[in-house]
Structure 1
Amino acid sequence: MNFDLQLYWALFLRRLPVMLLFVLIGAAAGVVAALRLPETYETSARLLVEAPQIPDSMVESTIQTEATEQLDIIEQRLLTRANLIDIANRFNVFPDIRQMEPDTVVSKMRASTRIRRSAGREQATLMTISFTSHSGRVAANVVNEYVTLVLEANTEFRVSRAESTLSFFEQEVERLGQELDRQSAAIATFRSENAEALPEDQSYRLSRQTLLQERLARLERDLKAGEAQRAEIIRIFESTGRVSPGVGPARARSPAEERLLAAQAELDNAKVIYSEENPRVVRLQALVDQLEDTVRAQTEAGVTGEEAEATSTEQALLDATLAQIDTQLETIRTDIGSTQTELDELQRRVSQSAANGLQINALERDYDVIQSRYNAAVTNLNQARMSERVESTAQGQRITVIENAVVPRVPTGPDRPKVAILGVLGGGALAAGYFLLLELLNRTIRSPAELTGRFNITPITTIPYMRVKDGRLVRRRRFLGASFALLIGLVPVAGVVGMAGLG
């Protein structure tokens, strides 16, 4: 790098008067701005986020928003456009507020408002609200209004959330209760419509089915035995003329009497088993009455012919026996029909009971699911009621005022030394910019080092530029003219800086 320190030092000394002039102008502008800036007053209020007075272990709050997040939400609601314009108009924050545009009012209010939060682990959560204004009373009024809005917003935020949670669970409990009622009605309706094929009675139906099957088998055996007995009696009568074989004429009693005794014995046995209204008992009673009439008629007529008596008696006995057997067979067939019908109905119910069991299980499973959701909703509802009660009575987490804003007696701004120092620094920056600008615009070769760097050659010797007297005078006049013009252009800039300080 070809850097000629001696050359630049000479250039610095040559341009130093103009650079000092820039520094003086900047310092003058800073001093003027510092002296002309109006006094400002700043006041602040401190807020504290207090822990709930009732521990969460006793009543768990339904508002799970962290303190820092809650303060951030409140800050965003506080600095809304409507709030800022309303506060500015109410307290006449700016002297010319009637001529200001709403956007300007909002931007200046936000620029004058400062909100700081401090929080940490095992540390209290604090919030400081400050406002800067031309009047101490206006600043205090604005800050106190901010504090009022923060407290109202915090109360409204927590109470509204608790009430919204309570309203939600009340609606949820009511909705789930209606679902439970509908599901209970559906289960009751299904059970009522399928009362004959419910799975709870399946064991009874199976045992009844087994009993009926055994009864049906016994009745079918009795039917076959009765039909065989009837056929056998007819065959014997057609072969021998008697109802039963092995009965001779030399009997102590007449056949009618013997049949009467047998019929009476069978009637006595039937009465033991059946009731008086049973068809079998009725038919046996009729047979006994008929045989008694026959025996009585024979006795009164004094019939002595054994053959005639035997013939009429055997025919009557055959008719009575066949009638009795037919009655028994008809009873058995009726019992078989009713038993088979009941068996078929039981089989249908057994088959239907399995499908009904699946349907009932599905309905009851849905009922249990709704019941569990209902129980959870009731638990949450009770918790929401307690939480809403805690929030409405201000027993939960809340924001309290540690220190209210007071009217400041001593102005807090502006920092006039700082403004003056900034003016000096600005003048120095202008001087440095002036020096660099001339170097960037000057492309002439002024030293052997620049000649070597520009053309990549090593000169044997260099001859300095020889300026004539007239040319030096013209060049100096041009330099002074340009500097004067630059100074004239910087005077309005300084004035603008001063006015900006006033604003």
Structure 2
Amino acid sequence: MLQIQSKDELFAALRRRMPIMAGIILLGCVLSVLFALGQQKLYMATAVVQVENARISAPEEGIGVTSDAVRRIELIKQRMTSSKNLLRIGEQIGMFDVEDSSEELSRTSRLIIMREAIQIREIADDRINQPRTAPYALIIEATTDDPVRAAALANEVMQAGIEEARQQNLSRAEDALAFFDEEAARLEAAIEEKEAELAVFRRENDQALPSSVGALRTRLTSLEETAFGIDRDIAELQTTSTRQRDEVRQQEIALLEDQKALVETRMAEIEEAIARAPQVAQELALIERQIGNLQEQYRTVVSQRSDAELEQVLEARDQSDRLTVLERAVPADESISRSRRSIATIGAALSVALALGVAYAAEAFNPAIRTAAQLERRLGITPVITVPVVERRKSGWGSRLGILAALAALAAAVAAAVQFFGTRLLDPALWERFLPRSLAD
């Protein structure tokens, strides 16, 4: 339990712990200043790209078109931050320049630097209970330790995105047009093949076609009457007695029987054709339906090809969906990072707080009774006399050695900090940024 109950006792405790508090505060302030000097100032540059819709609307617009636009923007963002593009831009603006040529950055390190320096955000209509719409602007933010380099980085990424969007639109239109050309040629060949198959089928089954069944039935009836007439003539020859000789009559009967055989053969052919008529009609309908489907697909492909051709023309005239520069990035006048002076001030305040905490802990772990007032509060006894502590005169080497040890520790900490931060402390430009302008001048 602490014995501090008044201002005098508080000040006395602070005086007792002043050496250790002073050491902590001094060391903390030095380390805070070194840490502040080692921090880089970061500058942010912002470029804004506007996503413009097509000047001539597509024939069909709806949710599908919006979803396609969202996917295109996402693809453009991914290609803007692709490894190849970031490495090219970083090399171009000198993001990977190092003082020591032997410490060349690896590819992974370069990508990490670029991805941490670039951020792309979308601006879209994100109202609640509304379907996702395509963004109408992209914000490109670049953060580096050099304001000019940050502006150059944002502008280069923006320009790369614009070029990528244009190339993507052109490539998409050309690929779509080539695809529909190939599809139209394939369907034309398929239609020609089916029409040739239909012609062969009609030629091979001309008698069994649905359009010929009626004529076949009429022909069959006529042949039946003919056969009946032949039978009648044969019966008359066989029953009628004439002066003709038997040989002549037999020849006439044989001739009539041959005629009847021909008629019956023809009747059998017609009956077979009529029997096959339903199957022929089904196969004919199947071929015609296939041809109709191919023709419908061909008309659809021709219509889509016209749309693709229109899109290619619009893209060539720069009238389709595109990205335009709304605001170019300019070098920032002020840093976005915390100033070195504020960092040093915060470090000093934390050092004071730590020193007070250590002093409090030291008093808490050593709650000795040092005054008559503390004795009276603690034991309820009023002391009659108090004898001050009479210290023996010492040679002073102990205190001197303690001071020397503290100075050595402080020097070691400073040396370690100098070794850690390198030659940055010797850079005059660094001190000019940290010190006030009047002192720097």
Normalising to structure 2: TM-score of the pair? 0.69
Aligned to 1:47: 49
User: Where does the alignment leave 5 or more consecutive residues of structure 2 unmatched?
Assistant: 128-132, 368-389, 392-397, 431-441
Per-residue deviation, 1:197 = 2.8
| 2:82 corresponds to | 80
Query: Which residue of 1 is the match for residue 176 of structure 2?
Result: 165
Paired with 2:196 and 2:277, the residues of 1 have a C-alpha distance of 20
Distance 2:286 2:39 in 1: 83
- Alignment partners' CA distance in 1, 2:411 and 2:357: 17
Distance 1:337 1:67 in 2: 78
Counterpart of 2:199, as a letter, is A
The one-letter code sitting in structure 2 at the alignment partner of 1:34 is: A
Residues 226 and 68 of structure 1: is their aligned pair in 2 closer, same or farther, counting only changes over 3 Å? closer
Alignment identity in percent? 24
CA RMSD, Structure 1 to Structure 2 (Å): 4.5
Shift of 1:220: 1.3
Is the 8 Å Cα contact of residues 29 and 498 (structure 1) preserved in structure 2? no
Counterpart for residue 203 of structure 1: 214
Question: Match for 2:153 among 142, 145, 165?
Answer: 142
Q: 1:497 to 1:16 in 2, by over 3 A?
A: farther
User: 1:222 Cα deviation (Å)?
Assistant: 3.0
2:96 and 2:105 in contact (8 A); partners too: no
Q: CA deviation at 1:346?
A: 1.2
The separation in 1 between residues aligned to 2:423 and 2:343, in whole angstroms, is 12
Contact 1:33–1:501 (Cα < 8 Å) also in 2: no
SS at match of 2:197: helix
Other-structure match for 1:246: none
Aligned counterparts, 1:326-341, within 5 A? 329=253, 332-341=256-265
Maintained 8 Å contact 1:39/1:134: yes
The Cα shift of 1:401 comes to 0.7
- Correspondences of 1:270-419 after superposition (within 5 Å): 318-319=243-244, 329=253, 332-408=256-332, 415-419=339-343
Please state how far the C-alpha of 1:327 moved relative to its aligned partner.
Answer: 7.0
Contact 1:37 1:501 in 2 (8 A): no
1:204-243, aligned counterparts within 5 Å?
A: 204-230=215-241, 233=242
Residue pair 2:34, 2:417 contacting (<8 A) in 1 also: no
Quickly say closer, same or farther: Cα 1:111–1:78, change in 2 above 3 A: same
Kindly indicate whether the alpha-carbon contact (under 8 Å) linking 1:59 and 1:387 is maintained by their aligned counterparts in 2: no
Quote the Cα distance in structure 2 between the aligned partners of 1:337 and 1:143.
Answer: 98
Identify unmatched segments of 5+ residues in structure 1: 234-317, 447-468, 471-475
Alignment pair present for 1:181 and 2:192: yes
Return the offset for 1:202. Answer: 1.0
Q: What is the CA-CA distance between 1:18 and the residue it aligns to? A: 4.5
Count of paired positions:
381
CA contact (8 A) 2:47 2:140 kept: yes
Q: Structure 2 CA distance, aligned partners of 1:490 and 1:333?
A: 135
- Match in the other structure for 2:139: 128
Aligned AA (2:174): E
Alignment of 1:105 with 2:110, yes or no, is yes
Aligned to 2:98: 96
Distance, in Å, in 1 between the alignment partners of 2:143 and 2:313 is: 40
Post-superposition offset of 1:369 = 2.4
Shift of 1:59: 8.0
Q: What is the CA–CA distance in structure 1 between the aligned matches of 2:211 and 2:278, rounded to whole Å?
A: 10
Which residue of structure 2 lines up, in the alignment, with residue 460 of structure 1? none
Q: Is the 8 A contact 2:206 2:212 kept in 1?
A: no
Q: How does 1:253-272 map to 2 (within 5 A)?
A: none
Matches within 5 A, 1:60-71: 65=67, 69-71=71-73
Moved more, 85-94 or 389-398: 85-94
CA separation of 1:17 and 1:48: change in aligned 2, threshold 3 A: farther
**Shift of residue 345, structure 1, vs aligned partner:** 1.7
CA distance in 2, matches of 1:347, 1:141: 90
Question: For structure 1, which segment, 20-29 or 173-182, has the greater mean C-alpha deviation from structure 2 after superposition?
Answer: 20-29
Instruction: Tell me, in whole angstroms, the C-alpha distance in 1 between the residues paired with 2:195 and 2:352.
Output: 90
1:151 deviation in Å? 0.7
**Any conservation in 2 of the 1:223–1:332 contact (CA below 8 Å)?**
yes
> What residue is the counterpart of 1:34 in the other structure?
36
Q: Secondary structure of 2:187's match?
A: helix
- Partners of 1:94 and 1:490 in 2: CA distance: 32
Secondary structure of the structure 1 residue equivalent to 2:56 = coil
Question: How far does residue 380 in structure 1 lie from its aligned partner after superposition?
Answer: 1.7
For the residues of structure 2 that align with 1:71 and 1:500, how far apart are their CA atoms?
A: 45
Matched letter for residue 113 of structure 1: I
Distance 1:185 1:5, change over 3 A: farther
1:26-84 CA distance string (max 9 Å, x none): 44333333345455543322111122211235789997655554443323222233333
How far did residue 149 of structure 1 move? 0.6
Distance 1:137 1:399 in 2: 24
Q: Which amino acid aligns with 1:423?
A: G
1:228 shift after superposition: 0.9
Alpha-carbon distance in 2 for matches of 1:500, 1:69: 49
CA 1:105–1:183 in 2, change beyond 3 Å: closer, same or farther? same
Q: In structure 2, what is the Cα distance between the partners aligned to 1:182 and 1:415?
A: 79
